[in-house]
Structure 1
Amino acid sequence: MMIAITLGLFVLLTAMGLLLSAKMGYVMQDQNAYIHETGRYATEVVSRSVRQAGYENWNSGTIPLQTADNFSANVMGMDAMTLKKTSAGLDGATATDVVNGSDVLALRFYGESTDGEVGAILNCAGLSVAAPASVQTAEQERGWSIFFVAKDSAGEPELRCKYQSKTSWNADAIARGVESFQVLYGIDADGDGQPDQFLNADDIDELDNHLLLAGENAIVRARDKNRKTAWKKVRTIKFSLLVRGSQNARDDTLANEYNLFGNDYSNAHGYKDKGVRVREDVLPEASRNRIRKIFTHTIQLRNDAAGNGA
């Protein structure tokens, strides 16, 4: 009887081990599929909005509203910042509760309207954007697609799309589990139409801080800054997402290091560009055992003639 009990326990333990191993394998496959689906979808949504930046409706039968040289840039960004859901545009940006130094990317474009009907130009939330009512309101009524990272009510980080509806501002989740969203901007310094260097948002703002502005008051000087800003020299946008799974699926040593733009960039700029290097050992303990993957994409802006290259 003792021998039978021993053999039975051995068989039971072996079966339990096989069951746990099979479950772990299933969880890893499921989490890998989840991460790839999330990363691909988030990349597609951001990429589509980037390509739309600076759009003007040249398909209409009349000359479309165009982006004047003293309008604000069609591409703007912020380093290591997050936004409030209901504040207008980039107002109320804060460095408090930023998730792993994630960036903000803001894109502007014209909508479409034909015979009083809104056209097929959509913002990042999938809502149609109407054309401005008049030339006088053209700058203010351009559409917005703004991307940033924040935590939901359960503390899970998510990539959000901020947009303006007919009545208010709001922000919706695009992808859950985005631990870092980083953006670099390809600047055309010599005017040949090709990017000469990639800078982060703080670097571009620093270039603007050295502009010599003309004008007798703040409003006129702001218009002059819009004409000269380095943001209108952006020709390419490179963004990177660090996406994690929805549950723990690892039991290895938690010592990975994720360099969203590569190790060389992190070594050269990581000290000032927060979030481009994320180490697992400094992440919240409850989420360290999750699978993670980096998704990186580079996009050439299509609509330079619509204001980015003013």
Structure 2
Amino acid sequence: MSRRGAAAPTRARGFGVVELLVALALGALLALTASVVLLASSASYLNQVEAARLNDSARYALDIIGRAVRQTIFANGVGAGADAPAGARPADSASVGGLDARSVSRGSDGIEAPLAGAVNGSDVLSLRYFGAGSGSGGDGSVINCAGFGVGAADSEAERGWSIFYVATDAGGEAELRCKYRGESSWGADAIVRGVDTFQVLYGIDTDEPADGAVNQYVNASTIDALDAALALDGADAAAKERDKNARTRWKRVVSIQIALLLHGARGSGPRGGTAQFDLFGKAYADAYGGADAGVRIDEARLPPAQRGRARRVLVTTITLRNRPA
């Protein structure tokens, strides 16, 4: 049978080399674009998660410190002179103290053996308590930074302690710690990890007579210098020490200003450039940054592994509940 007039079959034709290369290039471009968008979204999510965690961590730490500060010189029915409770008599040492750009060890007595090489100039804040109730744990109305009750002290030396300082853990991560005295030994617990620096200023009343209002905020070294300039009265060293305790500017502290700079996980920071953090504001850092280490942190000067991280500064001012005597 004749097939004249039937359509000729078409030959199957595949992709040419040029077409295949173009398709591959377009596919790679789409995959690359999707990867960039995914990475950007992932970085943004990580930044937001770390920012929220840092805010929670900083507020938790500041809440603990705030509670400790408000309790430090508080005592119900504080009398005067010899009738005052242990630690509140004029010749007793101050209940507030501190160190600039130092750290302390877990087992040392109070802050008597400070350590050099503090993390980015971090400070030490020392608080003492009159306590309440009988026994070492008291009635639970006064607690130290670890949450243990502090009983009423029978002597000045028996007052409770809360000491805040920064130290590095076994992995090299800096953490804010709470140091306290237990029944038989000293202990210290971590409050928050990832600390760049911990800074403290003290609001002192310089008026004569004192009126309980803050006249200026200074660091611990400034208060120590003011005490060193006192012309002490007394026939011997013990008498001069009692006079110093009665006149120390540490007893003129009316409020305490706390600043914390925390960092998040690696790669959680915003892209591009480094930041500068002035913990008590630019004016204070410009004026005193050279003498008060740690109040200005330049991210570009940190070790490379510490850069490119989410960071948060939280600052709070806490007023002492009782006017210092």
Q: Which region of structure 1 is more displaced relative to structure 2, 280-289 or 112-121?
A: 112-121
Residue 167 of structure 2 corresponds to which residue in structure 1?
A: 150
Unaligned ranges ≥5, structure 2: 1-14
Q: Give 3-state SS (helix, strand or coil) of 2:190's partner.
A: strand
- Amino acid of the structure 2 residue aligned with 1:185: Y
Q: Give 3-state SS (helix, strand or coil) of 2:243's partner.
A: helix
- In 2, are the aligned partners of 1:56 and 1:64 still within 8 Å (CA)? no
Residue 94 of structure 1 corresponds to which residue in structure 2?
A: 115
Deviation per CA, 1:109-151, whole angstroms, max 9, x where unpaired? Answer: 122225897311210011111222x3xxx20111111111111
Structure 2 residue 96 is matched with structure 1 residue 79? no
Structure 2 residue 204 is matched with structure 1 residue 187? yes
Structure 2 residue 254 is matched with structure 1 residue 235? yes
How far apart are the structure 2 equivalents of 1:116 and 1:146? 18
- In 2, are the aligned partners of 1:254 and 1:280 still within 8 Å (CA)? no
Q: Within 5 Å, which residues of 2 pair with 1:49-60? A: 49-58=68-77
- In 1, are the aligned partners of 2:262 and 2:313 still within 8 Å (CA)? yes
- Amino acid of the structure 1 residue aligned with 2:230: L
1:162 to 171, 179, 182: 179
How far apart are the structure 2 equivalents of 1:155 and 1:254? 25
Q: Which region of structure 1 is more displaced relative to structure 2, 113-122 or 251-260?
A: 113-122
- In 2, are the aligned partners of 1:102 and 1:149 still within 8 Å (CA)? yes
Structure 2 residue 232 is matched with structure 1 residue 213? yes
1:130 to 146, 151, 176: 151
Unaligned ranges ≥5, structure 1: none
Structure 2 residue 238 is matched with structure 1 residue 223? no
Q: Give 3-state SS (helix, strand or coil) of 1:215's partner.
A: coil
Structure 2 residue 90 is matched with structure 1 residue 69? yes
Give the superposition deviation at 1:57.
Answer: 4.1
Point out which structure has higher relative CO (alpha carbons under 8 A, 6+ apart). 1
Alpha-carbon distance change, 257 to 216 in structure 1, aligned in 2, over 3 angstroms: same
Residue 174 of structure 1 corresponds to which residue in structure 2?
A: 191
Higher Rg of the two aligned structures: 2
Residue 49 of structure 2 corresponds to which residue in structure 1?
A: 30
**TM (normalized to structure 1)?**
0.91
How far apart are the structure 2 equivalents of 1:19 and 1:119? 56
2:66 to 35, 47, 55: 47
How far apart are the structure 2 equivalents of 1:91 and 1:115? 26
Structure 2 residue 171 is matched with structure 1 residue 140? no
Q: Give 3-state SS (helix, strand or coil) of 2:244's partner.
A: helix
Q: Which region of structure 1 is more displaced relative to structure 2, 158-167 or 116-125?
A: 116-125
Alpha-carbon distance change, 246 to 128 in structure 1, aligned in 2, over 3 angstroms: farther
Q: Give the ranges of 4+ consecutive aligned residues of structure 1 lying more than 6 Å apart after TM superposition.
A: none
Give the superposition deviation at 1:178.
Answer: 1.6
Aligned residues: percent identity?
43
RMSD between superposed Cα atoms in Å? 1.9
- In 1, are the aligned partners of 2:135 and 2:152 still within 8 Å (CA)? no
Residue 287 of structure 1 corresponds to which residue in structure 2?
A: 306
How far apart are the structure 2 equivalents of 1:232 and 1:251? 44
Structure 2 residue 129 is matched with structure 1 residue 109? yes
Alpha-carbon distance change, 251 to 292 in structure 1, aligned in 2, over 3 angstroms: closer
Count, aligned residues: 298
Q: Give 3-state SS (helix, strand or coil) of 1:10's partner.
A: helix
